[in-house]
Structure formats: C-alpha cells, structure tokens
Structure 1
Amino acid sequence: MSVIKFLSDLVKEPSLSGEEGEVASIVKEEISKLGVDEVRIDRVGNVIARIERSGDCLILLDAHMDTVPAGDREAWRRDPFSGEIVDGHVYGRGSVDTKGSLAAIVHSIPLLSERGPDLVYAFVVHEEDHEGFGVRHAMNSIGSRPDLVIIGEPTSLNIARGHRGRAEVLVEFRGRAAHSSMPELGVNCLDELCEYLRELNKIEMPSHPLLGSASVSPIRVDVSPGLIPVIPDYCTLLLDRRTLPGESKSDIEEQLRGRIVRKIVKCYTGYEEEAEAWFPAWINEEPFINRLASELGADVILWRFGTDGSHTAGETGISTIGYGPGDQEVAHRPDEMIRIDEVERAVKGYAKIVNSLPYEF
C-alpha cells in the first residue's frame, strides 16, 4: 500500500480521543508488513513497535492517532471523513493533525539503513484532549528511556524545537441564591465573575525571548442552578493558561486564584485514569538541531500549539524535536488538507533523520 493510500484510509476512519480503536488496528496491520521486530497494542490503546539496529542509543518516534471532532459539516466543502485525493492533496479531518505524519513515519521504515539507533514507534491515544498521556504510557511500557524523541506533528517539514505549555485552570465563585424577582435578597455569583474577568485582563504576563508571552483565555462558564427564576449561587470559570519554561503549577494557581483541573481519561480499551491538566512548556537549544536542519534544508521553528513534547521534554527532560508534513494553521479547521508531495517528502525526511543519527543530543 502506498503512503498516500494508507493516509487516505486513516482519514476515512474517525478517531476521536478515546475512540481510536479502529485506526489502531489499521496502523498495527500496516506496520506489521514493513519489517518491525515487534508490534503490539498496550493497555491504553497505543500502537507500539520496535526495530533493533545497533543498540548504541534509542530513538522514539511519536504521532497521535486521535483527532478533534469535524464540527459543523456544513462548513466543509468535502466530507471530513472521505479521505479524498484531489488536486495533489488528501482531504479530511486529521490529514494534517496528525495522520499525515503518522503515515509518513510508518512508510519510512523500508528506507532505514541496517545500522543505526534502535527505534521505538509510539502511535498514541488521547493527545488532542490530554497531550502527553499516551506517550507517557508508551514510555512506561517499553521500559527504556529514549535518548531522543521525534514528535510527528505538522511543521511544513521544518524542525520544531519547542512550544509554550498549557494549564487548564478552574476558578470558583460563590454567591447566595434568591428568587430572581427579588435579586436584592441574594448575591449573584456572576457579578463576582465579571469583576474577576476585568481584573484578569490587567494581569501582566511573563515573556520569553523565543517563545514570546504567556497568555490566558476564558474558555467556559458553568452556572448553578442555572434556572431562570433563581439568582445563581455558584459558578465556575475554565481558563486556558499558556505557560513558559520555569512557571510552576503553584505559580499559576496563585496568579489565577484557581486550581489545575483533574479529569478522567477514558481509553477505548476500557482503561481509565485521573490525570492533571498540566502540560509544561519546553524548548530545545541543543546545537545538533541546527546541524540537522541544515542537512534537511529546513528552518528551525517553534510550534504555536502543544504536543506530546510537554511530557517527553517538559516533564521528563528528554531531548525532543518535531518534524512533519502539513501547515499547522490548517489543523482543526474545516477542509483540513495536506499536500501529497509533502507527505512523500516526509517519508524520506524521517528516514534521513534516523539514518543520520546519532548526534550529540
């Protein structure tokens, strides 16, 4: 099967976070045909494969199988799960983020040289709603610490060296309930929320010379009891706080007067786990990155969004880079699409990266 046919088949199979099982089966079947020494599905549903070469070092290649929802179908000119191949592009949800990278990584295997670093492939679950969850479990299951992680996410075939972090923060507001015909007898918690939002806009955010400024965005308000004739006595505000290296959980909670969210991650295998919505920033300033980019004819960039690198680099401290086909600005949008020639070049690019290593990372 060609890499483009494989990508099209992946796009045709919806794979929301927690519903990646069918795509995992397709990936496992395809990679089994390409000469890996081991392939399996772990307890959370990741597809894990391994190739033994020289054993000098261990490289982990990561790409996620899940996608965000397609959203309003009327906003799409083509079926988001058609996987159509038209005018030099593959169309559909997940084509850029990040099934294009996944397909290219898998199809780079036949191009590998006989000698070189040992390779682990982790095609992971739940990246879209909890980045780092799947790769953390993958790393635990392989029982070895990688020397380098390559994140397969859209970079337009450039080398990504990091991104800001992310925290989901919940802020609570309390009032006193009353009949809405007599509001003077109660205390509306939404009044306090409105005052909080005014103050939130005045907070001076820290900045980083490469990653830019931290930011905070209100995402959702939930109100209780939420009935028309009742002054609400309790509400919560969910914030998306983009973080910088060096910022801690306690820093963020103190600044925003809230708490980091904990939520249950439910896997298609039946496994469940409570996990904290804290995803650290990271940046890789090791000199080998510039050398590698030069060999690939690529630029060195920073991602605007978060990736599994929040765990591999931000939490674990493993040298991490990103590489993949596709424009990051197309991700999560209607009519998501990826250029066929970029995917085909990425196949060669992944092979060139792992065949050229080891560097001093």
Structure 2
Amino acid sequence: MKNRWEHVLKLVQALVKRPSLTGEEGEVADFLQRTLPEYGFDQIVQDPYGNVLGRIGQSAAGGLLFDAHLDTVAVHNPEDWHHDPYGGEVWQDKIFGRGIADMKGALAAAIVAVGELRLEGWEPSGPFWLSGTVGEEVAEGAMLEKVLDRVQPETTIIGESTGLQLAVGQRGRAEIILDVKGRSAHSAHADLGINAITGAMQALAEVAKLEAPSSGLGEGSLVATDIISSPYPGRSVVPSGCRITLDRRVLLGETPTSVLEGINNSLPSEINARAKLARYAFQTYTGRAVTGDSFAPAWYFEPSQRRVREALTALNRAGIQAGPTTYGFCTNGSGSAGKRGIFTLGFGPGHEADAHTTDESLAVDQLLGAVQGYKALFRSLLRREENVRS
C-alpha cells in the first residue's frame, strides 16, 4: 500500500462512524465482514454470538490470533465534546471519536498491517486469525472464549492500548455485590427500624480498612462504584436494604472465593451484610443471551521468556523502541491467558487513560506506529511457530 495513512484513516473513520454499543455491534460487524477480504483474508465467518473471525492460511490448531473488541461504551455527555463523537475528525495530529482508542484504532491498524503484508507476498507458516469480538465492555474475556472454542491458537495478541509497548500481563477484575439488610419503619419513628443505609456506611468503612494486596502487576484495589437503597425512592420509609457494587482489581492467584472471604471476614457480625460475586447478563446483537460470573482473572508472562524476547526484538528491529509493560485495566486476555492458559501479549496504539473519555482521541503517530508494530509481530510470531515445528 503506497499511502499507509490514507488507508488507515479511511478504515478507522469508517469504524468510528458506526456506533457499536454493547449489544448493538451489528453494523460494524457487517462492515468488518465486507472489508476483511479486501485486505487478503481467505475466509470470514460470524459465530452465533456475532463475533467476526477472519482467517489467512489453512484452518488448523496453532498459529496466531489477533483480537480486538468491537463494542464501545456510550457517549453520555455529547454536549461536552468538542468533536463529533462519531465523526472521526482529525485535528492537531489526533483522531477523535468514541472507540478510537478503545479500540477501533488498533483494529484498523491490524487490518492495514495484514493488507500490507499480503501485498508483500506474506504467506504465514500457520493459520493467522483476526477476531472482532462483542461484549467486552460488559464481560472481559467471555466472548473471546467463544472464539477460542472454535480455534486453538498458540499465541494471542490483544490490541488494547499499550502506547506501543509490549504488555505481558494485567490485573483481573471482580465485580462484587455487597448486600446490607435492615428493617423497615416509618421515618417518623426511625428508632423502630434498622436503617440499611447506616449499615452500608459502616460496612464500607470496614471494607476500606482492608489492606490491598500488591504485586508486580500493581495493587488489588477496591472501589465502590454504585449504591442504591430499597425501597427506592424511600418516601417516609427507613430502608430495609442497601446494595453496594464494588470493583475489585485482582492479582495472580486470587480467586472468587479468596476475594469474597477477605471482604466478608472484615464485616462485624452486628452489620447484617454479605458480599457475593455479581453476575453479568446481556444480549448480543444476534439475539443470544449471555450470562456468567463477573470475575476475570489476572495473567502474566515473564519478560525473560523466549517468546517475549523475540517479540520485543521484532518490534525494536521495526524501529519501535518497546519494552515490557503490564495493563492497568482488564482486557480479553483474561479469557485467552487467564482462563485458557494461551500465551498472550498486548500491543496497541494509544494509552489507557484515553479510553472512555470525553473527546476520546488517538495520536496519528501512534496509529501509524501500530501498523508497523503489528507487521513485525505477525511475521515474527508465526515464523517462530514454523521453527518450533521443524
């Protein structure tokens, strides 16, 4: 491709201009299915959940899978944006739009990288897969596992933002419900009841005293993200219940049982409160109902491992000064590495702090650098598999 910028800009703008909230990814998924053959993909399929999967080479176990999720979070405050959230506008060496950093820019860069490789005569030694997965913003890893039920790659690359560094791990995430029970009474006679809101405040104070575990991946942080009393609205009623949602970032080796025990053991018996794992539930754009426990495990691969070193060498030879890093947020790698044990790396344009923001943006040089980086990784990691087999 003679003009990389024109190709990647056209593609990323087309992706951004198609809104794709979780459960509403159909338009962008259809666009992806129509587009992938133009970039050298041999076969494109859509699974029952709406995930789009493109392949180059023969269908077989092994090979390399690149994953990018298609869904984005909503734009709740369009009046605060200085650029059209779905315009893909270019201004001062940045591209703006919902999902540009998380993660339509990475998807466009990976597709253009494949297109350039194919024009250069690239025939991968093993199967190369590209997945556009749905539902990641609700359940990290869950829909990628549906893809992994169909293919068995040796290596997975997650395209989430790394600032063009190489991510070798991430913290996981547990969503926890803390239910606090009280006893209803008329608010004019509050002393006859037990106020669940008061109990919830006490419970939060106790939970806040917990010492957060830490490791090389960071801290096992705990944050309250919402709270609601019952009945709601509570006109002249002492609330009999209060529900708090907690976001707990988990580290290697932590399990739902260990995380819940730590919280429940911190609550005094006089507070009628109990923590449990939340459940996610959503419907894909194809009409499939998806439910599961809201627990995405952490994962990590030592930078000294040969495959990590080879990936870093490939990036550096391509002119990208990359070193090992880890994600602070949770990604679909919880499905490939955390649950399936597949060797997984993260590499993508932009920075974590750019995701989910007003005026979400991606620097042009990051986007173009990602194309070069993906070309180097795709070549190197598939060549490695050929050497292993021989």
What TM-score do you get using the length of structure 2 for normalisation? 0.88
The 1:54–1:235 alpha-carbon spacing in structure 2 relative to 1, beyond 3 Å, is closer
Q: Among residues 245, 265, 287, which one is paired with 1:270 in the alignment? A: 287
CA distance in 1, matches of 2:290, 2:172: 22
* Displacement after TM superposition at 1:42 (Å): 1.1
Q: Is it true that 1:49 corresponds to 2:76 in the alignment?
A: no
CA distance in 1, matches of 2:136, 2:244: 23
CA distance in 1, matches of 2:124, 2:253: 39
Q: Is the 8 A contact 2:171 2:250 kept in 1?
A: yes
* Displacement after TM superposition at 1:55 (Å): 6.3
Alignment of 1:220-259 (within 5 A): 220-226=226-232, 227-257=234-264, 258-259=275-276
Q: Among residues 123, 126, 147, which one is paired with 2:132 in the alignment? A: 123
CA distance in 2, matches of 1:54, 1:182: 71
Partner AA of 2:189 in structure 1: M
Partner of 2:326: 302
Q: Is the 8 A contact 1:56 1:116 kept in 2?
A: no
Alignment of 1:176-255 (within 5 A): 176-208=183-215, 210-226=216-232, 227-255=234-262
Question: Relative to structure 2, which stretch is displaced further, 49-58 or 68-77?
Answer: 49-58
CA distance in 1, matches of 2:61, 2:371: 23
Partner of 1:65: 70
Partner of 1:281: 298
* Displacement after TM superposition at 1:58 (Å): 1.4
* Displacement after TM superposition at 1:31 (Å): 0.5
Give the paired residue count.
358
What TM-score do you get using the length of structure 1 for normalisation? 0.95
Partner AA of 2:276 in structure 1: R
Alignment of 1:154-173 (within 5 A): 154-173=161-180
SS of residue in 2 equivalent to 1:182:
helix
SS of residue in 2 equivalent to 1:172:
strand
CA distance in 2, matches of 1:202, 1:5: 51
Q: Among residues 52, 76, 81, which one is paired with 2:86 in the alignment? A: 81
* Displacement after TM superposition at 1:45 (Å): 0.8
Q: Is the 8 A contact 1:265 1:275 kept in 2?
A: no
The 1:60–1:306 alpha-carbon spacing in structure 2 relative to 1, beyond 3 Å, is same
Partner AA of 1:175 in structure 2: G
* Displacement after TM superposition at 1:340 (Å): 2.1
Deviation >3 Å, runs of 4+: 53-57, 358-361
Q: Is the 8 A contact 1:8 1:85 kept in 2?
A: no
Partner of 1:94: 99
Q: Is the 8 A contact 1:170 1:236 kept in 2?
A: yes
Question: Relative to structure 2, which stretch is displaced further, 257-266 or 304-313?
Answer: 257-266
SS of residue in 2 equivalent to 1:16:
coil
SS of residue in 2 equivalent to 1:120:
strand
What's the Cα RMSD here? 1.7
CA distance in 2, matches of 1:99, 1:50: 19
Q: Is the 8 A contact 2:65 2:156 kept in 1?
A: yes
Partner AA of 1:25 in structure 2: D
Partner AA of 1:241 in structure 2: R
